[in-house]
Amino acid sequence: MITETMAYPTAFTFTNVAIVLATIFVLGILASYIASTRVNTELLEG
């Protein structure tokens, strides 16, 4: 059943937007860090 206590749809509040943006930034930084640590010198030299 759809009730008022369900998570969706959410209201656009500053807190919700900040949490979503922070999550995206953290996941992006983590993904780029993992990708950059896997690059070795042989791959860079070509």
- Distance of alpha carbon 44 from alpha carbon 6, whole angstroms: 50
What pLDDT score was predicted for residue 9?
A: 64
- Rounded to the nearest 10°, the torsion over CA 31, 19, 2, 4 is 170
pLDDT digits (tens, 9 = 90+) for 5-44: 766 666 788 988 899 999 999 999 999 999 888 887 777 7
- Dist CA 35 CA 27 (whole Å): 12
Q: Are 10 and 16 in contact (CB under 8 A)?
A: yes
Determine if the pTM surpasses 0.85. Answer: no
